[in-house]
Chain A
């Protein structure tokens, strides 16, 4: 059974064919085929997510990891808790109950601080109870992670808050603090001491940032907020600010010095790029930005941030331009030198006299990086379609599903080993990844056809892009389909008797197609089971509007779509439909009317 079976069933449902055969076809595809293909359990089940080793729930676990990273960056969790989470992950163990409680409390604190409609329209976040909170988290994981990701994204996904003032205690205030600390003091000895929100004590940093960008301001006004939200625009503003008036800015450099011997990969890349020693003219120009000024430090951090966003750098953002960042820069330049641009690219990086000393010419580098600026929504959609079109043109559509399933794990190390390095982060926003992936599409296609090994850069971007899309779309769609099955396809809602072996039914409710409803309660059912079943029905009713909208949105869109190009392409499309619904004004209201 291939993805066409899914779209065919959706088309039939969409034309009003609610017959058992159609229902059964949809059930088999969604409940049996997709969970295996996408490594997302159906139905969402906490125990299945964390207790089963192997790859069949990998995607769902990935969404929890993303949640924990966002909650940490916004200081709902500490760096210690982040590290503990990843230590458990690395040991293939579930998080401890105590740690899970802290994560769930952090999630509750976020939900309380943010008014994002999809998180508040259905069942409210439970005031207490691990299991009740886990049930909520499993159902609302996608909208929660999607919303959180906008607060940590540097792709300009969050709108400027004109009403924001220093000292505001809101999730937006946390987001502003995260950005300032990322740009100036991200690595700190004890995260407990990091300010959660910005206040007047942070004014000197804000003044410094304004000066670095040559802005005649001293506050965190809307313009500066906009730059903090969009690293592409920030880099552009910095680049323009550093251009000496009346010149073309050719003589502006970022300087760095790496310690220790260069890695074999670095040497090979330098050889390929034919990096040259700075000539006399360049040596004269170099001091124009002194190596130890704040400007140079800020520039190095901004370069790290950019290389991280486009998939070439996986270390901490600390302005410490060590071998890892150096290699990331070399890989980026190597990718850019494809297509006959090698000579131009080679001039961007020059070696200085002395061991491990380099200078990066800011202007041409800025031009290259400008091509990676996050796209707007429509352009992002076009880029994504272009990627799949190029894969289809290369006749690799039939192999991409299998290759991805088998080779996805090659990127494991590139995720930065956060169990050992609690300040390394994965960049999750997809806009920059799309651009980087499309620019390196030839390399990606070679990877799909198994002609090249995994490398950071475009291949890593492609893997992250696909994994992220599957996480975003499929989990929420599955939850929607669970509601759809209960309320439309006749699947009973069942509460088992606690501790029974074999597991027996304590209470069962079946909503018929005409909504005539049958409850059954076993004579032997305990009060706890009956209470749990009532709670489950209330939760289903509270979430019905939202989750049925999710399921119906996807079924409708799939019915209107042509044939998807394989399973992964279908997963990408489902993510698009789900996110469109979540982020549209109509979807945010979750109105079915």
Chain B
């Protein structure tokens, strides 16, 4: 079971503490607390997902994800979990990988780990950004 630890991309715990100290009158606190952990799941499968409609128009991308979610939840699901990584701020990350990886799956595992890194980096930027977004007292 592989694990990694990368503190460079993370804001300090104080950043999150400061953000979580925002007034509880909105969902910011919940959001910031949720940022303390990060889960990345990689699914593979066979879901019919067209980006364009019958007339060539672009479909709303959010619906594509909903369709994957529906298919995953279905009893006869054709969507399988390849790997899951759980990351906690300032702690080791843990990755679950399905057994019996094929050659293709091994390539996808590399891709999965890249996604974990991208999500970690973006989360760090986003957490700090949300703090800035909420600090409306200073002129922009």
A residues adjacent to B (C-beta < 8 A): 13-19, 487-488, 490-492, 494, 496, 502-505, 508-511, 513-524, 527, 530, 533-534, 537-538, 540-542, 544-545, 548-549, 552-553, 555-557, 559-560, 577, 580, 592-593
CB–CB A16/B132 < 8 A: no
CA distance A81 to B66 in the complex (A): 48
Q: Select one of A503, A514, A549 contacting B31, CB under 8 A.
A: A514
CA distance A527 to B111 in the complex (A): 11
CB–CB A505/B49 < 8 A: yes
Count A-B pairs with CB separation below 8 Å.
180
Q: Select one of A488, A505, A519, A537 contacting B64, CB under 8 A.
A: A505
User: Which chain B residues border A527 with CB–CB below 8 Å?
Assistant: 107
CB–CB B50/A548 < 8 A: no
CB–CB A524/B46 < 8 A: yes
B65 touches A (CB below 8 Å) = yes
CA distance A557 to B132 in the complex (A): 11
CB–CB B64/A494 < 8 A: yes
**Contact A593:B128 (CB < 8 A) given known A14-B133, A518-B43:** yes
Give 17 new A-B contacts, CB below 8 A, not counting A541-B117, A549-B125: A15-B26, A19-B27, A487-B122, A488-B126, A508-B64, A511-B119, A513-B31, A517-B115, A520-B47, A520-B68, A521-B42, A523-B45, A523-B46, A534-B110, A544-B126, A548-B125, A556-B140
**Contact A540:B122 (CB < 8 A) given known A496-B51, A556-B136, A560-B139:** yes
CA distance A520 to B48 in the complex (A): 12
Closest partner residue, chain B, to A549 (CB atom) = B129
Closest partner residue, chain A, to B26 (CB atom) = A16
User: Which chain B residues border A19 with CB–CB below 8 Å?
Assistant: 27
User: Which chain B residues border A494 with CB–CB below 8 Å?
Assistant: 51, 61, 64
CB–CB B49/A515 < 8 A: no
B residues adjacent to A (C-beta < 8 A): 11, 15, 22, 25-28, 31, 34-35, 37-54, 56, 61-62, 64-65, 68, 79, 82, 107-108, 110-112, 114-119, 121-123, 125-126, 128-130, 132-136, 139-140
Most buried by B among A502, A504, A518, A520: A520
CA distance A592 to B41 in the complex (A): 28
User: Which chain B residues border A540 with CB–CB below 8 Å?
Assistant: 118, 122
CB–CB A552/B40 < 8 A: no
CA distance A18 to B29 in the complex (A): 11
User: Which chain B residues border A504 with CB–CB below 8 Å?
Assistant: 48-51
CA distance A51 to B55 in the complex (A): 20
CB–CB B38/A516 < 8 A: yes
For this complex, 28 residue pairs linking A to B, each with C-beta atoms less than 8 Å apart, are A16-B25, A16-B28, A492-B62, A494-B64, A496-B51, A502-B52, A505-B51, A505-B64, A511-B119, A514-B31, A515-B126, A516-B41, A518-B68, A519-B43, A519-B115, A521-B44, A522-B44, A522-B47, A530-B111, A542-B121, A544-B126, A545-B125, A549-B132, A552-B133, A556-B133, A592-B132, A593-B15, A593-B128
CB–CB B118/A537 < 8 A: yes
User: Which chain A residues border B40 with CB–CB below 8 Å?
Assistant: 516-519
Q: Select one of B11, B35, B45, B122 contacting A541, CB under 8 A.
A: B122
CA distance A530 to B118 in the complex (A): 15
CB–CB B122/A491 < 8 A: no
Closest chain-B Cβ to A589's Cβ sits at a distance in Å of: 13
CA distance A523 to B104 in the complex (A): 10
Closest chain-A Cβ to B85's Cβ sits at a distance in Å of: 9
Closest chain-A Cβ to B47's Cβ sits at a distance in Å of: 7
CB–CB A522/B45 < 8 A: yes
Q: Select one of B45, B50, B118, B139 contacting A520, CB under 8 A.
A: B45
Most buried by B among A15, A515, A522, A541: A515
Q: Select one of A492, A515, A523 contacting B38, CB under 8 A.
A: A515
Q: Select one of A13, A523, A545, A577 contacting B140, CB under 8 A.
A: A577
CA distance A509 to B64 in the complex (A): 10
Closest partner residue, chain A, to B128 (CB atom) = A592
Q: Which 8 A-B pairs have the closest CB atoms?
A: A514-B34, A557-B140, A16-B26, A541-B118, A592-B128, A505-B49, A519-B42, A16-B28
**Contact A592:B125 (CB < 8 A) given known A509-B115, A518-B41, A537-B118:** yes
Most buried by B among A519, A523, A549: A519
User: Which chain B residues border A542 with CB–CB below 8 Å?
Assistant: 121
CB–CB A534/B114 < 8 A: yes
User: Which chain A residues border B49 with CB–CB below 8 Å?
Assistant: 504-505, 508, 522
Closest chain-A Cβ to B104's Cβ sits at a distance in Å of: 9
Most buried by B among A18, A496, A534, A541: A541
CA distance A592 to B133 in the complex (A): 10
Closest chain-B Cβ to A426's Cβ sits at a distance in Å of: 30
CB–CB A544/B125 < 8 A: yes
CA distance A522 to B37 in the complex (A): 27
